[in-house]
């Protein structure tokens, strides 16, 4: 039996109880989103369809971005001190895509994956298919294009919707590039469309009440039936749902002390056990 701790959505916090659990398992799987600034998040949601950096000014924007960035570095340093191996992807909130200038404020920040490479126990798996202790794991992280952004309902203009559609098609192509049957675990940041994906944010958020899952994940599950699909992103959810033979696990937010302990049997046909921490 392989024992796994599935965590994610740290947003600057790694509760002590989860650090202790991380030392008791065979390895840790992380869905990303290491850093976070509550101040920045509120501003981004308030000015969702405009350039928030212009609203607050360059100096304030850089201050907030650095606060966010450094909180993620803090988490990576904490993970790097664990005796357990950590296999991770990145989330939509992580500093990995330098092309998103509003995310970096023009600052030259080291990618989180570059920081990970300095940690002997952290392994970055984005868009990779690997074997870990006899389990076939497919990691697919980062920001993906939710279907809501492809419609008028998104609030985006036509040209931006077309850019989103092109990106969506590229992301789907990348996902299916490594597609194959008999995958034990697909580790993603976003949930699949229709599963743990309706926004129920307690504060101001223009996406409230809408589906923000990634449709190609749902298509992938239906076609290839990985035994487990592990996701984060949606802090509102923690639990299990099933699609065909695939168990879809929403880990819950590590920031809130939530995670999942998964016991994967040596016999591939045996029952998978999942216990949620909250």
Higher pLDDT among residues 226 and 167, named by residue: 226
Residues 38-96 have pLDDT tens digits of 899 889 888 877 888 889 999 999 999 999 999 999 999 999 999 999 999 999 989 98
Residue 132 is classified by DSSP as E
Exposure string of 142-164, with b = 16+ CB inside 10 Å and e = fewer, is bbbbbbbbbeeebebeeeebeeb
Distance CA 5, CA 278 (A): 13
Give me the phi and psi of 198, to 5 degrees please: -90, 125
Distance CA 76, CA 23 (A): 16
Residues 160-186 have pLDDT tens digits of 777 878 888 999 999 999 898 899 999
Q: What local confidence, expressed as pLDDT, does residue 44 receive?
A: 85
If you average pLDDT over every residue of the chain, what do you get? 91
Give me the architecture of the 2-277 domain, per CATH.
Answer: 4-Layer Sandwich (3.60)
Q: What local confidence, expressed as pLDDT, does residue 49 receive?
A: 76
DSSP 104-121: HTT-----HHHHHTT-TT
Mean pLDDT check: name the lowest of 72-86, 240-254, 261-275.
Answer: 261-275
DSSP 189-214: SSPBTTSS-B---SS--TTTTSB--B
Q: What local confidence, expressed as pLDDT, does residue 269 receive?
A: 78
């Amino acid at each position: 039996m392989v024992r796994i701790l599935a965590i994610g959505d740290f947003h600057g916090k790694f509760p002590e109880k989860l650090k202790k659990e991380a030392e008791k398992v065979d390895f840790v799987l992380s869905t990303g989103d290491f850093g976070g600034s509550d101040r920045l998040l509120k501003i981004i949601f308030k000015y969702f369809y405009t350039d928030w950096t212009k609203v607050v000014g360059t100096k304030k924007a850089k201050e907030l971005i650095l606060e966010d960035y450094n909180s993620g570095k803090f988490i990576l340093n904490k993970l790097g001190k664990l005796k357990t191996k950590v296999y991770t992807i990145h989330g939509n909130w992580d500093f990995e895509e330098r092309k998103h200038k509003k995310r970096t404020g023009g600052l030259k920040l080291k990618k989180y994956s570059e920081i990970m490479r300095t940690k002997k126990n952290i392994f970055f798996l984005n868009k990779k298919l690997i074997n870990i202790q006899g389990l076939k794991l497919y990691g697919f992280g980062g920001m993906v294009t939710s279907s809501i952004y492809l419609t008028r309902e998104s609030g985006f203009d036509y040209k931006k919707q077309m850019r989103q559609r092109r990106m969506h098609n590229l992301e789907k192509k990348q996902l299916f590039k490594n597609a194959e049957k008999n995958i034990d675990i697909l580790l993603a940041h976003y949930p699949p469309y229709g599963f743990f994906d309706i926004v129920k944010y307690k504060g101001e958020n223009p996406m409230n009440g809408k589906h923000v899952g990634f449709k190609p994940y749902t298509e992938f599950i239906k076609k290839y039936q990985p035994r487990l699909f592990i996701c984060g992103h949606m802090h509102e959810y923690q639990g299990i749902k099933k699609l065909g033979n695939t168990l879809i696990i929403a880990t819950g937010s590590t920031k809130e002390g939530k995670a999942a302990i998964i016991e994967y049997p040596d016999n591939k046909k045996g029952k998978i056990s999942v216990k949620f921490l909250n």
